[in-house]
Structure 1
């Protein structure tokens, strides 16, 4: 643990100030929550000053929003990578997304899902970070529904909704440790949904 911490500190020290601030925010927000972490604590963790932090981020809310934008981009990249790896196999893409979530559950069991944690602390739906989360989730649902359509699943919107419930539920279950082998169960349920809703794969037109 000490070696890992020293390695991280060495890596972070080489980052430009903006990236150090984001790295510090990610660590503190994930560990302690948005409301509990002040700007001074982030600046101290990033080995910089509040004045320097505000040069990069006008407000703490702006920093929260940018942190969540980076988190969302990681999920979007997973969809993109799977689309490149399996361009003509939407079923493989859906299972790949499920595997991506399943593989991330051990970390979520320790730190919690950043979106779930942040939503709980952002009750105001006009908050930019809250709107970013909702827009990200809506976009993810659309991509999943499109994959279900291309896979030829009967009633693809319902199939996508079922899969979304499973993906989201698995993350909550991992966070509160209410279900054992959550990742394994997640994969089994998603496969069962795909097998239970057979249909004719959509034809991709040139």
Structure 2
């Protein structure tokens, strides 16, 4: 099935915002690079902020689907999946188009906690942490809430380090720290 103009615009805008940022990307750039007229753009989205929110929602869905599908493909048990999170991150970091996390960028550009782009970005991270919490519970962690919070912070730190390029293997370093945390929390089975 052929994607709608709205879906096409969201996908193309995602690539542009990811590459150039939200504030730095004007409507003229979006029109020029997407090939979609301003009239059509405004038919689907009242404002640029509405388009940004649609892009963030789309990225949230596609990223989480990809991430957890890959996790299911590489390992089976919940304890192994907690550690494999960092292997999947490494795959992402090695993609040629990797430019960091769109949600971290959105929070940096839209710093007001009430801004819809900020809210959507925080929700993305909350959903990821909830998934890690479920894995920690399934693995039998002593304190699954604490472990999921620790792992999400390691994950986010690895993303920032990868984007900034100040560490040669941020996913590997984070994985080493995660292994110690997981081993201290999850009994051997």
Give your verdict on TM over 0.5. Answer: yes
Q: Deviations over 1:153-175 (max 9, x none)?
A: 22222211111111000001011
Q: How many Å separate the matches in 1 of 2:97 and 2:32? A: 27
| 1:36 counterpart = 2:29 | no
| 1:172 counterpart = 2:179 | no
1:47 CA displacement? 1.0
TM-score (norm 2): 0.86
Aligned to 2:100: 112
Q: How many Å separate the matches in 1 of 2:11 and 2:74? A: 32
Q: Deviations over 1:21-50 (max 9, x none)?
A: 223312221121100111121122111210
Asked if structure 2 preserves the Cα contact closer than 8 Å seen for 1:82 and 1:93, the reply is no
The alpha-carbon distance between structure 1 residues 15 and 44, as it changes in their structure 2 partners (threshold 3 A), is farther
Deviates more, 1:188-197 or 1:140-149: 188-197
| 1:133 counterpart = 2:154 | no
| 1:155 counterpart = 2:143 | yes
Aligned to 2:51: 63
1:85 CA displacement? 5.5
Asked if structure 1 preserves the Cα contact closer than 8 Å seen for 2:92 and 2:98, the reply is no
The Cα RMSD (Å) is 2.6
Q: Which segments of structure 1 move beyond 6 Å, counting only runs of 4 or more? A: none
Unpaired runs of at least 5, structure 2: none
1:122 CA displacement? 0.4
TM-score (norm 1): 0.79
Unpaired runs of at least 5, structure 1: 1-13, 202-206
